[in-house]
């Protein structure tokens, strides 16, 4: 069976990469650059949060900054999900059968992760 299963959690459900590889396929260079820029910005926000806590800043201000970081991370996650749906998921669904079923399970797992 191709795809992610309880027995082989490292396999990609789209069947496009080797189980040990778990590498993305068909990542748009512009999307990747945007995500890396966003992640660098988030790193800076996290460093700012660290300073805020060290300096005993007002709790509401720290929590506001945390909410900003969480939203920025959700933005990166949305871009990654869009790419996953366009490439990995679309390939798996077109393949049908067990490959598609594994992808459906993977997508449900992603959507209902604990937040």
- Please check whether residue 3 lies inside any domain of the structure: no
Determine, yes or no, domain membership for 34.
yes
> How much is the mean pLDDT over the chain?
83
Residue 112 lies in a domain: no
CB atoms under 10 Å from CB of 91, counted, come to 19
Distance CA 94, CA 60 (A): 48
Other C-beta atoms lying within 10 Å of the C-beta of residue 16: 17
The predicted-structure confidence for 29-84, as pLDDT tens digits, reads as follows 888 899 999 999 999 999 999 999 999 999 999 999 999 999 999 999 999 999 88
Determine the Cα–Cα distance for residues 66 and 113; give it in Å rounded to an integer.
20
Tell whether pTM > 0.85: no
Q: How many domains is the chain built from?
A: 1
- Return the structure tokens found at 5: 């299963």
Out of 2-11, 15-24, 99-108, which region has the weakest mean confidence (pLDDT)?
2-11
What's the length of the chain?
A: 115
Q: Which domain holds residue 69?
A: 29-94
Any idea what the CATH number is for the domain that residue 36 is in?
1.20.58.1000
């Amino acid at each position: 069976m191709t795809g992610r299963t309880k027995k082989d959690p490292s396999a990609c459900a789209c069947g496009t990469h080797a189980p040990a590889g778990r590498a993305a396929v068909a990542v748009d260079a512009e999307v990747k650059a945007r995500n890396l820029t966003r992640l660098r910005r988030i790193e800076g926000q996290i460093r700012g949060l660290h300073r805020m806590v060290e300096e005993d800043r007002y709790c509401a201000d720290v929590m506001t900054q945390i909410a900003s970081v969480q939203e920025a991370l959700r933005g990166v996650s949305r871009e990654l999900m869009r790419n996953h749906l366009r490439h990995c998921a679309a390939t798996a669904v077109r393949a049908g059968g067990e490959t598609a079923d594994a992808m459906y399970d993977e997508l449900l797992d992603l959507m209902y992760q604990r937040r």
